[in-house]
Amino acid sequence: MNTPNIQIRFDHRNVADSESLAKYAYPKLEHVCQHGRVHDVTMTCSVENGLHKISVNLHMPQRFNENIEATSRDMYVTVDEIMPKIERVIKERTAIIGSPGHVSAARPHDVFDESEEDI
């Protein structure tokens, strides 16, 4: 499975770059993204009104973009809170993509219903 393009950004208004936070979040994002086909992940960290906020933008197949947010008093706790949300969205979308709503001509299927076989 291909590794998605993962970017971790910091809003420079109220928070500076934190290499340790990026090292903490990157492996978690990599692990969560293994549950489905994800093209790009952009994680933006900021501080608003004394609360640490993380916003994640997921880009998946079929032009699916999802924005996910989490807020808490500690940035590391916020990272831990947002990971299950990301995982849930990826699994839900992968289930939708993985189950086509049409019958493929290449896949074996019953041509006749049971009622038509008696004729």
**Residue 12, domain member (yes or no):** yes
DSSP state of 2: P
**Residue 40, domain member (yes or no):** yes
Q: What is the pLDDT of residues 16-57, one digit of tens each?
A: 788 888 899 999 999 998 888 888 999 999 988 889 999 999
What residues make up the domain containing 74? Answer: 5-96
CATH of the domain at 35: 3.30.160.100
- 50/7 Cα distance (integer angstroms): 24
pLDDT score recorded for residue 60: 86
**Residue 54, domain member (yes or no):** yes
Which residue, among 79, 95, 119, 100, has the nearest Cα to 36 in the 3D structure? 95
**Residue 37, domain member (yes or no):** yes
**Residue 110, domain member (yes or no):** no
pLDDT score recorded for residue 110: 62
How many domains would you assign to the chain? Answer: 1
**Residue 69, domain member (yes or no):** yes
